[in-house]
Amino acid sequence: MTVRDPFAMTALDAVRAFRARERSAVEITRSALDRVARHDRAVGAFLRVDAEGALAAAATLDARLAAGDAMTDRPLAGAVVAVKDVLATRGLRTTCASRMLEHYVPPYDAWTVARLRDAGAVIVGKTNMDEFAMGSSTENSAFHPTRNPWDLTRTPGGSSGGSAAAVAARFAHAALGTDTGGSVRQPAALTGIVGLKPTYGRVSRYGLVAFASSLDVVSPFAQTVADAALLYESIAGPDAHDATSVDRPVERADLSRGASVLKGLRVGVPREYFGDGLDADVSAGLRRALDQMAAAGAELVELSMPHTSHAVATYYVLAPAEASSNLARFDGVRYGLRADGRDLRSLYGATRDRGFGPEVKRRILLGTFALSAGYFDAFYGRAQKVRTLIARDFTEAFAKVDVLATPTSPTVAFKLGERTADPLAMYLADVCTLPASLVGVPALSLPVGLGASGLPVGLQLIAPAFEEARLLTVAHGVEELLGRLSLPSLD
């Protein structure tokens, strides 16, 4: 291979260069750390960088390779990976971008973090996010906002905006985020990279600080579909620590087929995703991509998923209800921040008032109301029924097509501060990603070019449950057909 600057490599490039002894793991890691030092003050992707730990891990990889270990059992050896600050990292603070957990240092690694280490990845640091993963712009962090590397006046999306920005800025070859209602796919679209949400239950949630337990999925970001597949295959699989983890084989994507996979592929185009509210930039970019897919032999099948319009309302009953329950543990008694109070009740109130930001408080109140006596059936119970109807739409659609194609985000990256005073406008940023989350099926966002604004446009592909191999194979074909984006240099 032709060896380029390490920061310009994909994850697969870095792994191959390391194994071929063209670049040491320490060289690759130092390059990433130097780039972070030069540019992250402007971007704000990281909450903390673990330079000492990263270099020590890289030196261990180099020593093993020098000792004759072929590293065949370390598929990510040589790759630098960032981790969203909602995943536990042993000995390294995990704050969820909240004052509530500002000083929390976990005594263990999340399952996915342990799997990354086992695969040989060098973990460079913890990335910024919306507090407790509640938001779509990474402006709800208690510490600082993250900026989009394509335009520093704009958001990278959220809640996993720090991880998305880290990959788009090439501070890391890949990253982990979490996707509850679109928190990996939407920022992937806004930053011009690949984001994969696996099937619910495919990746363990052990060590993930929960937002909404029936929706949260640990998910990878990468520059390419091949890198996303590599990261996914490294973290997927059963885990006895997580009762929702599914014990079934992890099939590998067939990336050798390239764009030929599109010939004869039935691609569903749900009309409900292409209605009012879709930016002209996004609409034009998606239409060009779909036309090229059709020219390559795909059969575009227009269909209807009539309950799509209820997804936002359904999600914003169910997810806050689960958050209300999950975040009840943060009360000053056992976990995190503890404020003074004259009695137990005032201690609870003072702790939660000081520890939680406005958006987290808003969602806890929404969820508590939905679960309260007299309102449970009218809100939570009804939302669960609508969730079933949305799932039925997907079942009927997949009886007719192999994959679905939709916008990932209805807009390109929006300005920082543009929606912070309008929660509903912010919630609508995930209108295209919420249905797949409610149903638990795998979905992936990949860039399909730049709009007239010069900002990335994302295409969302959705497959049936546990068909990640199909999804990745098709996405790789689309990526080969349309070509990859050149990411911003920042220099």
HEC profile of 373-396 = CCCCHHHHHHHHHHHHHHHHHHHH
Q: What are phi and psi of 458, to 5 degrees?
A: -110, 140
Q: Which pTM does this prediction carry? A: 0.96
The domain locations on the chain are 6-256
Q: What are phi and psi of 46, to 5 degrees?
A: -105, 145
pLDDT above 50 (res 2): no
pLDDT above 80 (res 245): yes
In this prediction, what percent of the chain has a pLDDT beyond 90? 93
Please write the tens of the pLDDT for every residue from 288-339: 999 999 999 999 999 999 999 999 999 999 999 999 999 999 999 988 899 9
Please write the tens of the pLDDT for every residue from 140-170: 999 999 999 999 999 999 999 999 999 999 9
pLDDT-based confidence at residue 6 (cuts at 50, 70, 90)? low
Gyration radius of the chain over CA positions: 21
| 8-state DSSP, 92 | B
Residues recognised as catalytic:
84, 159, 183
| 8-state DSSP, 346 | H
**Of 80-84, 268-272, 360-364, 424-428, the least confident:** 424-428
pLDDT-based confidence at residue 4 (cuts at 50, 70, 90)? low
| Residues 465/403, Cβ–Cβ less than 8 Å | no
Q: CA 207, CA 191: separation in Å to the nearest integer?
A: 27
Strand order, beta sheet including 80-84: 46-49, 122-127, 80-84, 174-179, 217-222, 194-197, 443-450, 456-462, 403-407, 266-270, 299-303
pLDDT above 60 (res 3): no
What CATH architecture does domain 6-256 belong to? Alpha-Beta Complex (3.90)
Contact residues for 405 (Cβ-Cβ < 8 A; gap 6+): 267, 268, 269, 286, 290, 293, 459, 460, 461, 462
pLDDT at 444: 98
Q: CA 181, CA 319: separation in Å to the nearest integer?
A: 9
pLDDT at 159: 98
Please write the tens of the pLDDT for every residue from 406-449: 999 999 999 999 999 998 899 889 999 999 999 999 999 999 99
Q: CA 424, CA 431: separation in Å to the nearest integer?
A: 11
pLDDT above 60 (res 209): yes
pLDDT-based confidence at residue 8 (cuts at 50, 70, 90)? confident
| Residues 323/289, Cβ–Cβ less than 8 Å | no
Q: CA 297, CA 463: separation in Å to the nearest integer?
A: 19
Q: CA 215, CA 201: separation in Å to the nearest integer?
A: 9
| Residues 474/443, Cβ–Cβ less than 8 Å | no
Q: Where are the alpha helices (DSSP H) in 405-454?
A: 423-427, 434-439
Q: What are phi and psi of 338, to 5 degrees?
A: -135, 115
Q: What are phi and psi of 133, to 5 degrees?
A: 70, 25
pLDDT above 50 (res 274): yes
| Pair type for strands 194-197 and 266-270 | unpaired
pLDDT above 80 (res 7): no
Strand ranges, E, within 408-481: 443-450, 456-462
